[in-house]
Every structure is written in structure tokens, then in C-alpha cells.
Structure 1
Amino acid sequence: MWRGVILDFCRLAVYFFCFSSCLVTGQHKQKQVLRAADYPFWGTLSVDKLSDKGDWVSFYMRYENGTDTLFVTNTSTRKRFAFPKGKQGQFNREQVFACLDADKNLKLIYLLNGVPQSFAGVSTYTFTANQKYLVLERYDETKHKYLEIRKPTGEWVKTIDRVKQWELSPSGNSLLYTKKDENTNSVVLLNLEDKPISTLITQSASSVFFGLVWHEKSLSAAWMAVAQGREPQIQFYSIGSRELFTLEPEKIAGFPRSMQVNSKLLRSLRIASEGKCIFFNLQMKDIQTSPPSVQVWNSADTMLYPSREMTGGNDHVDRVAVWLPEKGRFLQITNKEQSQLLLAGNGRFAVTNNPWEEEPQFRQNAVSDFYITDLETNTKELLLKGQLGANGQLLSSPAGKHIGYFRDGDWWTYNLFTKKHRNVTGSLGVSFYDNATGEPFGHPGWEDKDSSMLVYDQYDIWKLDPDGNALRLTRGRESGTVFRVVETTDEQSVKLYQNGYTAGRFDSNTGWVLSSRHLESGATAFYEYDQDKGIRLLDGGAFRVVQLVKAAGAKGYSYTIESYDCSPSLHYKKVGRAKSVPLFESNLQQKHFEWGSEKLISYDAPDGQQLQGILYYPAGYESTKKYPMVVSIYQKQSHHFHQYLNPSQKNNRGFNFTDYTARGYFVLLADIVYQKGKVGMSAVACVSSAVKAALTEKAIDTNRLGLIGHSFGGYETNYIITQTKLFAAAVSGAGISDLVSSYLYYNPDSVMSNMWRLENFPYYMGGSLHEITNVYLENSPVLHAKDITTPLLSWAGEEDRQVSVFQSIEFYNALRRLGKKHIMLLYPKEGHVLMNAANKRDLNTKIREWFDFYLKAAPAIDWMKPDFTIR
């Protein structure tokens, strides 16, 4: 099996069938120089949907000026329809495609004959799963919402007036809605399996109904019922028995009198256990909302004061409860001591923990003791002691049999019914976590019915039987290729409820999709996995294959192919056919312009490991000329190889490398790895080694090198220029300059101390400020500012809450006092990256002018001159 796959992959790696137009078009015609005025013509290709049988595919072309277009094309004939500013596209079998335009017109196109139809004033719509009906949401002249039920051909069937809320069932063939007629509120079920049949579930003159939610298998539904002067209630309706149950807090045993149903947090409602129980949030009745007269920050507090204010000190955090309507049982699951929840066993088991029990602690995520409660018997016991539950390291299985968790470098399973723990990776002799971060490479999900658990090592995908058997599905380690699972359906995605994750579900009987990336060459590929037939190559080669979408009712796939010098093209591949069908090539205008090229370079890190960088060549490159080069840094960036980047001068970090290659620059993206306690020096060594490797290209002018970085890359830039005179100019965006003050800072958004970030990844100091003070001082750029000779342009958002703006101001004051060449740009009302279009354009322009001045000897611009004032 693998021999055939490898041969196919190698053939594709050298066969650029998808890029023929890029390689041959324009060879006999002088190409134009790409200029900023041309950039608005570039758009981004996004794959949207495939029809059930794969006969049609929809996709977008999106532009910076907002003139987006939604397209639909036939995967065989390439017949195409266009919908300017279209959105929310849906197929109804292979016959009809619908979408909304910017003016709230519903556009229908009958795909077989191209006949269009339009309905004005549609706010949203959907087709039923049986594809018999089209549901339109509209508003009348009095601004009351109503629904129209039509046939997919547009023929009117039924109108439902004065609708307040509606939800189509997960099965897609039943509609639950609330409405208000005069003084009566109602909840109605509309069955759309055949002829529309309405069932009035409940009505009231005093209660308002909202927050409709369905069980995932459409077995039951629930909603909030709120009346003035009465505590919020929950109502539950069983579809099969047609029984309605009402949770009345004042009448049910065990309901805490100090709390009430949180009727505002609607996403807290969830029906589980085969549609038999409903989970919801409780909130305190009396919550202090007035601001305190003084803030009291106590160093012995378990939480930082802002975090305590946000959560109410864990006293006022919502609690989670469960109600079993048919049994008349109520149980509060979480409390002050156990405030976080993971549901397992399809809702039968509740796993709880106290995220604050280890506080104050100074990691990003604390460990805690996890307890498991059987909600049928209301028995509780310890599940795991001192376990990290964050970052996907503890997940319930989708079929409800197990919990998978990562501990001490290995993946474990816990059987919910036998109560046995098993280490399923300990004997495999392979590492399943990243040494730099300590985090696992990943656990995407389980095979259907929880027969096996899927996990990643650095290269490969493993199927792990909960009883201890292991199967390595791929052979990436031998060839230096990383394999991963691709999510092509919603059930394959990880689900979040409350604070807990449920892993994805993968059905090997119908097959699923794998991706691969060869680390040395950057080549990518997609494969289809079937438990009987094994792994079959779909497409791949020395280019980038992304955005894969699978046809629900057929073994067909749509995806895009790109490389740096070839704009993304849309392809369709039917399994069993030798070649894919090219359907659309974006940005055809590129072939009329000079364009850059790319290559991978290799170099050594201080610890001896080999790293890679991407070297981009200037458009119109001539080996006999000399060019400047800008080095862009962050951490590892070589995975961007073969990625196409539209030219733009509106980047939210101020730098677009296609813009620079178009203007005659080399650009280098350099990978960096870090040694503990030497984050700054590691950056210096890796970047210097990368530049040395790049300079084997003799066309790069060694005297005209620039350096740029943002955030962590901004810190690296700040530090590198204190240690080397390699660069003639540098740009630092939102970069830390003082590790001491940054260590003592807290992020107002996450309301967490910054200590974890400095002690661990990515700064990796290896200890606290007061344990290894000298290490923090040695790695702080501001303390080495006197050694800077490189002119620096720095920038920051004045309201940056991730990296304090005072990090840039501190560095500015130090360089000003030392008389260094430095300009700082501060953007009001901006955060860690720029959002305002005018500000983005301004930043891109000023960075470009800065590099042009120092690397191309362009004239100085007024803003660079002393005492410049914007007027």
C-alpha cells in the first residue's frame, strides 16, 4: 500500500500540472512592474460548499475593498454563475442554489437551466434536510417577523405571522418556533416531513418563550419561559410522547433558593442522555453591580483583583445544574469548590474541578483534582489528582464510553463503566508532546463507537485501542513528513460545552481524510483513509493543497492548490479518477506582472539542530544586480512555504512580503528555536545563521539588510539589534523591551499575570524573576540599548492590552537618552494589531519609507525629520 502512495507522491512532487498557465503564459511578452495601484485587483479565493453528489461547488472571491463575489460552478462542465456580494449560499440537491445579496434579496438559480428567481426582503433562510421546503424569514411593514414556507422552486406553501424565534431541528425536517398573537405567546412545532403539520405545544398570556434548543438527535426540545414577577422557568418537550414538562424552581426539591435559572446565557442550555435531561446555568439572585470605592489587592488572594472582580471571586460564578423532567429530579452539579464542568458519557457523568485550588500559581494553566459524578446514582469519586485539563489535554469520547487525557508525557484512557485507567502510549517508544511547550501534539477524536482513540506524535497518526493495542496509520517519521487528520464534517470537530471538550467522531466505514507536509521540501498532500482499503493519495506535490471540502453523498473533494508564485486555483477530484479537474484560477492578472519566487534554505541552530528559512526573491530578479533584504522574524515560519500572499499595503502588522518582493527586496522568513534562559541570544544566533545561509545568494547586498518583527518578534528585533551590527535598519511592532516590567505586568484581557509567559513558553526563562534575576536582565533589550547602532522604527497601539504600550515607551526613552536613531509611532484607539483601515495604510507606508530610506537610499520623508508635527 505505502509503496504505491510514495511513488504517486513523488511523481506529483515534480509534476506541476496545476501550474501550467503560470509557467508558460507571458514567456514571450514583457511583463509589467507590479505597483501599489494594482494591488486592489487581487482577491482571495475561499472554497465554500459542495453539493451532495459533488456536481456543483460554491466559492468566494473576496477583496480588500469589499466587492466580494460568490460563484457556483459545475465540476464537470465548468458552467458558472456569479452572485455579486452574495453570502449564506446553500445547495438544494443538485437542482437549486440559493444565497442572499447585500440588499437582503434571496437569489435562487435553477442549476440545470440557469433560470433565476428572486425574493426581496429576506433576512435569512434555509432548506429542509429532505429538500422539500424552503424556509424564508422576512419582516412586514410593521417590522414584525414572519416565516414563509415555500417549495424549492419558490412556490408558496404557508405563511406564519408574528414569529419571535425559530430553530430548525438537527434532523432538518422539523421547525420549532415561538410567536405572539395579540396578547398570547405560543410555542409551535411544525413538521415538514411531508405536508406541513403544526402542533401547538404551549401558549400563555403572561410568559414569554425564547432560547429554543434541540436535542442533537431531534428527540426533544427545550426553551426558557419568563413571566414578570416570577422566577425564570425551563420547559422541556418530548417529541415522541408529546409531553410538556415545566421546571418551576419554587416547587422542585433541592433547588437553591439563593439562585435562579440564568435566562440570559442561552448557550448554557443543552439536552443530553438520549433527550431525557437538560443542563442549564444557575445565577445568584442578588449580584453587587456598583463599583467599589477602593480596590483591595491582597498578595495572599487566590486570584488577581481584576480576575476576582470579573468572576465575583468565584462566589457569583454561574453554577451548572441538570433537570430530568420525566423523573422529576433536579441536581446542582457545580459549586464554589467545584466550579468547572466536563460532561461525559453522553451526559450521564459530570467531571468537575476547582481551577483555583492551586492559586496563587504562576503557570498559564493550573493543575487541579478532577472528580466524577454519576448523575443517575448521584455518587461522586476522585477521577484524577493534580491533572491539567486545559489545551485539549482532557476530553470525553463522542460515544460516551471513555475519557482521554494526557498525563506525564503519555495519553491515557479512562473507561467510564469499568472505572479503569490505562496508559495507551507508554510502551510505544515515541514522544507524543512538543519539548518546547510541553503540550501534546494532539488528539483529534475517536473512531465511531469509541473503538479506538486517534492521537498524534510529531509526525504520525496513531489508532490506540483502549485495551492497549496500537496501530501507526502513517509512515511520516521515516520520510520527515507530518501527517494529520482533516475535519470534513461537523461531527469530526471538537465540541465545547461549559468548560469541557468532547473529541471528534470519525467513521472509518465511510472513510476520512488525512493531510501531509514534507518538512524538507514543503510539499503537501491529501489522502483518503479507509479501514479496509488503507490510505490512498487524493492529490499533492511540491505546492500547497488546502481548503478541502468533501461532498456529503459522494467520494468527491474540492480544494485549492497554490504556491508563492502561483495564485490559488480551485480543483475537484473524484476518487478513482487519475487527475483532478481545474475549475477556477484566481488572480489571472498576475501573469501580466513580474513576480518573485521562493526557496527553502537550511542552517544550524546553536544546539546543532537544523532549521529552515524561506528566502523570497525579488520580482524581475537578475543575478548580476544587488538587492536589499528584509528579515521577518517570529518563531517558526517555514510552514508558510508554498503559501500565496496577495500584495497589500493594508496589513495589520505593517509588513507584506509580496509587496516587498514586488519593490525589489529579498525577504527572508527565519525559523528560531530557543535554549532555556537564552531567548534573546537564541534569536541572535538563529537569525545570524539564517542570514549567513541566505547570503550565499550573491545578489543580496550585505550592507543593506533590514530586520522586522511584531509582538514576540518585536521583542526579538529589539534584542537582536543590541547584540549585532548586521542590520542597517529595523522595525519593531508591539515588542517587549524590559523583561522585568513585563514579568510584573498583567494582561487586562485575560486578567492573568504575565509571569507564566516569561517563565515558560515562549520566553522560556526557566524560573522566576527573583530566582534568576541575572537571566532576566541579560535578556532585556532596554539594558543593552547603549550598544545599538541600528536605526529603529517602533510602533504600538496605544490601547494594547497584550503587550503594554509602555514597553515601547520605555525603549523610546532609553534610546532618546542615549541619542540613538529611533522613531516611535503610537496609534490611538488601537490594540495589539491595527484594525482601522487608515491606520493600517499609514503603518505600511511608514515602514516601507523607513526601509527605503535606509536600504535604498531614498529621500527622507517629512515624518522622519525632528520636530515633525501632523497638521
Structure 2
Amino acid sequence: MAIKTHPLFLFLFLHLFSLQVSAQKDELSPKSPFAGKTYDISWVVPSEDLKYLTFQKTYDYSADTLALVSTKHPDKIPYQAPDVYPISVKYTKGGAVFMSGGVTARLVDLTSLKEQVWNGIRKAFYVPSYERIVLFDGKGLRILDAKGRLTEEMTQVSAVQEKDERIFYTQKTAEGDQLMEWTPETKHVLSAVGGENFHVSYCRGPVVIYYHHDSRTGHAKMYLTDRSKQKTYALPEYLDGTPSRPVEVSALRSGRYFVTFATENKKVLQKSDVDIWYGNDNKLENKFYNDEIMTYAIWNPVINEIRPLDYQRFPTHIDTGEGRYLLASDPKQNQDYIRQKIKQKFYRYDTEEDRYEVMGDTGLYQNTDKDGKYLLSHDNDNWVVYTIATNEKRIIAVKDGIDAHEIFFSSDGNFVLFPRLERISAYDLRTGELRETPISSGYTATVAHGLRRGFSLHSFFYRNWYEAGQPLLIKVHNYSTSEQSIGLYRNERFQGLVSSGSDNLTPIAAFPQQKSYLYLRSNYNLPPVLTLNTGFKDRVIYRSNPQDKSVSGARMEKIAYTNSKGVALTGVLFYPSTFDKSQKYPMIVGIYELMHSNSNRYLRDGFAGRVEGINIRYYLDRGYFIYLPDIVFDGRGPGRSALDCVESGVNALRSHKHIDFAKLGLVGHSHGGYETNFIATQSKLFAAYVGGAGNSDLVRSYHSFNYNYTSPFYWQFEEQQYRLFKPFAEDKNLYIDNSPVYHAEKVTQPILLWTGTNDQNIYWEQTMEYYLALRRNDKKVVALFYDKEDHSFEKRKNREDLFVRISDWFDYHLKGIRKDWIHVMNS
């Protein structure tokens, strides 16, 4: 079975859970219209026999509710529980499922649904290799069998850790604090290290590497215990005793280990009244995050040797698992802040000969295979693959703009798979041959269930592979029409599994031995449906949100149009819930970039939406059309391009007699907020605008230091989202002409601006600057500044206030409903 767990999703889940905890006293108002009752399905965990599965119900501000479903009894939730971390869910061999959360652990019998609950728990986990449950309450440690029966209990335990399905803990004994390992047979004393700040970094067979960190001094003492030799080795003094703590350990050949340390940076200057910024500094972020640096060493415990590596020349060292060679680079060597996708020169470090050898250039992203034999990257010119052991470089003749993290090696190391537009390309690493497998015209393939492992200390380095010889689940997507399907790739053949259609398809898990595949199906008018495909036949397992009957009546239409340059675009038009052909309705236009890709996303209630600040269902139920037109960019600049696309998209609706074109509103957030700010200075189509957290002065933003990214913001304009592709000095008029603040006097209709005063993504003073320009030119403007909120809001009460005020704004200007707080603007 293969279950795809993306690190980003784990981050998002934990973020949602933290929001729930922090927002427990941050409640919505009674009878809030934005109290969401619908949910998405996330983090599906099936049992190996496919008889059961659990999933998390993901609401606006929580994702900790677990639901259990039997695949034999679809559309029923026989059991659900709050306060569950999905990463904790484990099925036992005894027919139960274990789960834990912030302070609670549970064991549920899958047949009887009887549960055992343990409260007041600080840490809990299930260890499949031992078939044991581990419960830690901060003082004592309990070991239970797979039925929840107590088998052993230890007192005076200060810390516990699960590492690679093994159990480690610190306990006070008559001999003092001791680090122990528990096994079903016995308890092993590893070292008299003691304290809560221990951490096991590595364990393989009889070898365990661990350290104890003294938080007062910053020093860490590291040890290796080899039970087969009944010996413990201490790490020698490192970097003349500079406070360092090990953060990662991996094994090399010949009993040596590669250790990465977080080391106190001695070069940090004492704080003074002057901060010096040099014009050739390519590591400006170090001014903010430089208390610690990564340093590296090769440790041979048997001969008591530690060899520091050249971390100053090569701030990054990576062990791919090849065994002899490490990869080394200076990611900032070519940093000019003009582009994110900079070239990097990679070296290989020979751990046996103690020397660095140049390999060649890579781009921002790098991939390696399951065994760490290869380094793959796009060097900004070509796809290149390096054989690490021989230092051989090969160019792969694939030209599509593929994201590096979507490329996968076969588990046997024979192929590199490039999912592409209208084909799947397999590069044979043995022969250098590129083999093509066609897919449907207009469709782009992505690997749905390969195995992806990130490198925790290296954001842009991936280890991606798929199991050779087994069918590989592939999702194919027509980005022009939003149609999707799912298929299987094997032996250079692609076979359809789920036929193409307008529904949004999300592959969940693959069981190739059982010829079964689990996926989610949803649409704007269809809540997510868990579906099991076995032998090419679909079977519904669970229909989510069964109470949401009204969404099936939602109506949507796709509008084909072109901008003035003849570029084909699509707009998505949602109809009012109680649409009456004899009536005319106001319309709100929501913008960002390509919006038609949102056409098949489930229309949830609450705060969920395509544009921050508006919930589509809320407005449809209140008699509005909602329209989401596409925007593309060209040499005229982001503002002019957006104006053209939006006006072209609106004008394509002129034949719709039920839209009141005198009552149109425009809304956007972030880049969409910038676009709204600009369009307000040029267009005569709209009666009211809402611009959220958007830029207004491109000249100022281009020349700013972005504290969210801790870098100058040049790259956002010359390479990324603004797509100007040239510096300000080269075309000053282009930057000025696309800046809303330079056209503030041309705004003709009321505009509502909003931002959070902690926003460092798009600096909140961009909103203040635009407000002041509009105010000076006697324009109708209201600006909302939310204290201590970021680019998107975390506090429910503030988010509700924002959503309500935006609703008031459009009701006031498009429906004539008086709102006193707005009417002040006209007094």
C-alpha cells in the first residue's frame, strides 16, 4: 500500500490545529452568518486490508475531528472523536485502531466500537513492531499491549521518544538519571545522561546515537552506544568547544557517521547603534536569522576522531545515502535577489579521501533517488543528472516546464519519470534512452502516488521514487477545461482507471496487489465523496456533508472569451440560489490570476472561498451573481494586463440580461488586491471595489526589503508574480504606469481597503499609502487596519468582522441597503 503524505499538508494540518487551540477564546458572534458547518475530507488513513479507513473533518479553524468508516457499510460514520492528530492513527493486528491528540489517547475496537480512553496524556504512540501502546503523563510511563492491557509501568520518567519504532526514555534511578531503551524482553541502560533534553538521533540494530542538550550553556554532549560491543563512545570536543547541538545524524561506510550541528555563530557582532549593509552582501537574511549556523563533521567513534568539514566555503552538506560521498554547495554564491531560481554549483565531498571535487551546476531544486546514487536538477538550461559515485554528468532532452519535485526515480534506480503535457517520459539511466508514453491530447500528467521524502534541513532537496514493477497511479488534468481523470502507468503503458470528467479528483491511496485505488471525487455542487476503485469499478465509501442538500442545486456556467490580444480565457459564473429569469441581479467579480481552475471546487460555507473576504455561497443565497474571470499577463505590465482581461471577461457577459451591469463590484486579495487597486483607477464598469492587502506602489515595493522573505523584493517583479522581467532602471515608466498610487486621482467609485498591521508579505503601509493618495484626491475611500493581523487573518472575530464589512460594502453600493458605518463616508 502507498499513502501519499505531503510535508506541506502536515504543516497545514498542524497550523490548523494550533489555530484551533489559540482561538478557543476567539469565538464568532452568536448566529454568525460565517459559522461554517461544512467540511473537507483530509488525511485519509486506510487499514491494510481496506476494511476500514479514518479521515479528518477539516473545517475553517479545526481539523482534529477523526471519523471512522467501514468500507463494507458505506455512508455511515459509526465512530468519531475530537482531539486527534492524524499522524498518530495506527491499526493494530488485534483489530483495533489507536489514535492520540493533545491530551488524550484512544483505542477503539473495530468490531464492537468499544473505546478505551486515557486522559491527561502528554505523549502517546503505538509501536507496530512491538505491538505496544506507550502512554506518558509527564511523570510515569505505561506500556500496554495491543488490547489496551497494562503490561508494564515505570515511575519517575521525565521524557520519552519514539524513534524508528523503538522506545527510549529517561528515568531517575538510584544511580541517577539514566537514558533507557525499552524492548519487550528487557530494558537497556544506554547512558547516565538524564534530564528531559535528550534526543535519540540515530538507531540501527545495536547502535544508538543520542545527545543531551544543556539549554543554559547551549552545549550538547553526544554519545554512541553499541550494545553488541557493550561500549559507549563520547563525541570529542568540536570546534574548540563552540556551543553546538546535533540536529541530524546518518551512517557512512566503515563505521563512520555524518553529523550536522546547529552551532553558535561566533561571527555575530555585538549589537550596536549602527547596522552595516554592504552592496555586495549575498546573505542579507543572516542579519535576522544568524544566531546559529549549520556546521558538519565526520565522526569515527571507535578511533575517537571527529573531522570538521568546510562549512564556511560550503554552508550546505547533504548525505543522500550513497555511502561514501556527500554533496556540498553554497546556495547563496550566486544570490543577487533578482531571481529565486538561481544556479548553484554542486561539489561532492569524498569522506574517505577528505577532498572536494566539483560536479557541476544545478538549479534551485534538486532530486535524488531511493538509494541516493543520483543528483537530478534543472540547471536553468537543461535537465541534468549526475552519477554521484563516478561524477558523470548527463543531459536529459526534456524541454517542458516541469516542477522538479514532480519527477520520480524508479525504486531500482533504472528510470527517471517525467510526467508531462500529453505524455509520460521515462529516461533509462542505463542506456540514456528517452521512452515516451502518450496520454490524452491537452492533458498533463502528474504522479499521484509515488513516495516523496523531503530533507528536513534542505527545503529544495527531494528524494522521490516509485515502486518499479508495480502500477503507478497517475492523475491527468486538462488545465484549459479543468477536466480530470486517473490512470495507471506500468511498463511504458498508460491505462485509464477513472474516466475523464468535470469532477475534481484527488487520489488518496494505492493497493496494487489488491487492484484497488482510493480517491476523492468532488465538484462545486458535490461535497467530497470517498470512492474505492477495485478492478476498474467504482464503489462509494462515504459521501461527506450529507446535511448539505442545497448545494446540489447550485448553478455554474463557464464563459469563453478573449482579451484584446486574442488570448483565449475562461470565466466562471455562479448564479444566485433563487435565480428568477424575470429579475436582474447585482454581480460581484472576484479576481486573482487563472480562476477557472476553481470551477470544480466544492462550495463550502463559512469563510471558505476563492477570494479572501467573500464566501460564494453566502452571496449566492443573498441574490448575487459571482463571476471569476481569468487573468493572464503580458508586456503591458500586471495592472494593464489585468484591466484588459477583467473588462473583456465582464463584457463577454453582456448578453446575459439577468445581470444588472450598473451594479457590479470588484474584489481581490493579495495580488488580486493589487489588481483591484489598479483597475479602480482605470475602469468605468464597477460601482464599488474591495482591495485587500495589495500593493499600490510598485516602485516602492520593488525597492523594498521584504521581511517575510528576508530579502530584497526585486525577484518578485523581475522573475515571479508581477512578470515585469526587467529592472526598474530599464523601464521606469512601466513600473510607474502599473502602480495604482500614481493614478489615484482617476478613481471614480468608492473603494474599501483592508490589511493587517503585521503584514510583511505585502507591507501594510502599501494600503496606507494608497488610502492617503485617495484621500488627498477627495475620493470615497474607507481603509480597515486590523491590529496585529498578518497577510491573512488568524483571529476569527477579526475575520468575521472583515467578511461582514465587505458584505455591508457591497449591500450598500450594489443594493442600496443603508449601513451607518459606511454612510459616514458621505456625510
Corresponding residue for 2:489?
A: 529
TM-score by length of 2: 0.88
2:49 counterpart of 1:87: no
SS of structure 2 residue aligned to 1:234: strand
2:435 counterpart of 1:487: no
Q: Is the 8 A contact 1:165 1:178 kept in 2?
A: yes
2:613 counterpart of 1:640: no
Structure 2: distance between partners of 1:702 and 1:158: 74
Counterpart selection for 1:177 from 163, 169, 173: 169
Structure 2: distance between partners of 1:66 and 1:209: 31
Corresponding residue for 1:167?
A: 161
Structure 2: distance between partners of 1:177 and 1:275: 26
Change (3 A) 1:247 1:539: farther
Structure 1: distance between partners of 2:95 and 2:295: 48
2:559 counterpart of 1:571: no
Counterpart selection for 2:316 from 336, 340, 351: 340
Corresponding residue for 1:675?
A: 634
Structure 2: distance between partners of 1:365 and 1:237: 43
Deviation at 1:838, TM superposition (A): 0.8
Change (3 A) 1:554 1:593: closer
SS of structure 1 residue aligned to 2:587: strand
Counterpart selection for 2:135 from 123, 134, 137: 137
Change (3 A) 1:307 1:188: closer
Structure 2: distance between partners of 1:641 and 1:772: 37
Structure 2: distance between partners of 1:276 and 1:852: 70
Could you tell me which amino acid in structure 1 is paired with residue 84 of structure 2? K
Change (3 A) 1:522 1:281: same
Corresponding residue for 1:788?
A: 747
Corresponding residue for 1:515?
A: 475
SS of structure 1 residue aligned to 2:444: strand
Change (3 A) 1:326 1:527: farther
Corresponding residue for 1:29?
A: none
Q: Is the 8 A contact 2:163 2:200 kept in 1?
A: no
User: Which moved further from structure 2: 92-101 or 286-295?
Assistant: 286-295
Counterpart selection for 1:152 from 146, 149, 157: 146
Could you tell me which amino acid in structure 2 is paired with residue 43 of structure 1? Y
Gaps of 5+ in 1: 1-34, 250-254, 435-439
Q: Is the 8 A contact 1:280 1:322 kept in 2?
A: no
Counterpart selection for 2:290 from 311, 314, 336: 311
User: What are the equivalent positions in structure 2 for 1:157-236 lying under 5 Å apart?
Assistant: 157-170=151-164, 172=165, 174-182=166-174, 184-192=176-184, 196-203=185-192, 210-215=198-203, 220-225=207-212, 232-236=220-224
Change (3 A) 1:674 1:70: same
Q: Is the 8 A contact 1:56 1:94 kept in 2?
A: no
Counterpart selection for 2:821 from 862, 865, 868: 862
Structure 2: distance between partners of 1:607 and 1:648: 38
Change (3 A) 1:219 1:720: farther
User: What are the equivalent positions in structure 2 for 1:334-413 lying under 5 Å apart?
Assistant: 334-385=310-361, 387-388=362-363, 390=364, 392=365, 394-413=366-385
Counterpart selection for 1:295 from 275, 296, 311: 275
Structure 1: distance between partners of 2:488 and 2:688: 48
Could you tell me which amino acid in structure 2 is paired with residue 281 of structure 1? F
Q: Is the 8 A contact 2:159 2:196 kept in 1?
A: no
- Give the percent of matched residue pairs that are identical in Structure 1 and Structure 2: 23
2:716 counterpart of 1:757: yes
Corresponding residue for 1:278?
A: 258
Q: Is the 8 A contact 2:405 2:462 kept in 1?
A: no
Gaps of 5+ in 2: 1-30
Change (3 A) 1:441 1:611: farther
Deviation at 1:608, TM superposition (A): 3.1
Corresponding residue for 2:554?
A: 596
Change (3 A) 1:852 1:595: farther
Structure 2: distance between partners of 1:650 and 1:80: 24
Spell out, residue by residue over 1:467-511, the C-alpha distance to the aligned partner (whole angstroms, 9 max, x if none). Answer: 4212234414x2x112111236xx433434346613212113333
Corresponding residue for 1:848?
A: 807
SS of structure 2 residue aligned to 1:503: strand
Corresponding residue for 2:24?
A: none
Change (3 A) 1:822 1:298: same
Structure 2: distance between partners of 1:736 and 1:424: 40
Structure 2: distance between partners of 1:463 and 1:816: 60
Structure 2: distance between partners of 1:208 and 1:665: 58
Change (3 A) 1:413 1:67: closer
User: Which moved further from structure 2: 458-467 or 664-673?
Assistant: 458-467
Structure 1: distance between partners of 2:636 and 2:330: 32
Q: Is the 8 A contact 2:452 2:464 kept in 1?
A: yes
Change (3 A) 1:867 1:624: closer
Could you tell me which amino acid in structure 2 is paired with residue 621 of structure 1? F
Deviation at 1:50, TM superposition (A): 0.4
Q: Is the 8 A contact 2:79 2:113 kept in 1?
A: no
Equivalent pairs counted in the alignment come to 790
Counterpart selection for 1:432 from 400, 416, 419: 400
Could you tell me which amino acid in structure 2 is paired with residue 167 of structure 1? Q
User: What are the equivalent positions in structure 2 for 1:626-775 lying under 5 Å apart?
Assistant: 626-649=584-607, 653-775=612-734
Spell out, residue by residue over 1:561-601, the C-alpha distance to the aligned partner (whole angstroms, 9 max, x if none). Answer: 2111121222233x315222x23222223225784322322
SS of structure 1 residue aligned to 2:684: coil
Structure 2: distance between partners of 1:219 and 1:504: 29
Corresponding residue for 2:123?
A: 124
Q: Is the 8 A contact 1:209 1:223 kept in 2?
A: no
Structure 2: distance between partners of 1:843 and 1:719: 21
Q: Is the 8 A contact 1:410 1:432 kept in 2?
A: no
2:424 counterpart of 1:461: yes
Change (3 A) 1:747 1:377: same
Q: Is the 8 A contact 2:337 2:712 kept in 1?
A: no
Could you tell me which amino acid in structure 2 is paired with residue 613 of structure 1? G
Deviation at 1:94, TM superposition (A): 7.0
Spell out, residue by residue over 1:524-556, the C-alpha distance to the aligned partner (whole angstroms, 9 max, x if none). Answer: 223233338753405663311226134598543
Structure 1: distance between partners of 2:389 and 2:211: 34
Corresponding residue for 1:9?
A: none
Could you tell me which amino acid in structure 2 is paired with residue 462 of structure 1? S
Counterpart selection for 2:225 from 217, 237, 244: 237
Structure 2: distance between partners of 1:408 and 1:285: 33
Counterpart selection for 2:57 from 52, 55, 61: 61
Superposition CA RMSD, Å: 3.1
Structure 1: distance between partners of 2:78 and 2:721: 48
Q: Is the 8 A contact 2:320 2:371 kept in 1?
A: no
Spell out, residue by residue over 1:826-865, the C-alpha distance to the aligned partner (whole angstroms, 9 max, x if none). Answer: 1111111111111100100111111111112222332441
Q: Is the 8 A contact 2:386 2:394 kept in 1?
A: yes
Change (3 A) 1:220 1:619: farther
2:544 counterpart of 1:544: no
Structure 2: distance between partners of 1:272 and 1:342: 12
User: Which moved further from structure 2: 545-554 or 632-641?
Assistant: 545-554
SS of structure 2 residue aligned to 1:358: coil
Change (3 A) 1:238 1:473: farther
Spell out, residue by residue over 1:413-438, the C-alpha distance to the aligned partner (whole angstroms, 9 max, x if none). Answer: 11112321111125xxxx3227xxxx
Structure 2: distance between partners of 1:114 and 1:496: 38
SS of structure 1 residue aligned to 2:322: helix
SS of structure 2 residue aligned to 1:620: coil
Q: Is the 8 A contact 1:50 1:56 kept in 2?
A: yes
Q: Is the 8 A contact 1:594 1:662 kept in 2?
A: no
Q: Is the 8 A contact 2:104 2:118 kept in 1?
A: yes
Structure 2: distance between partners of 1:646 and 1:109: 31
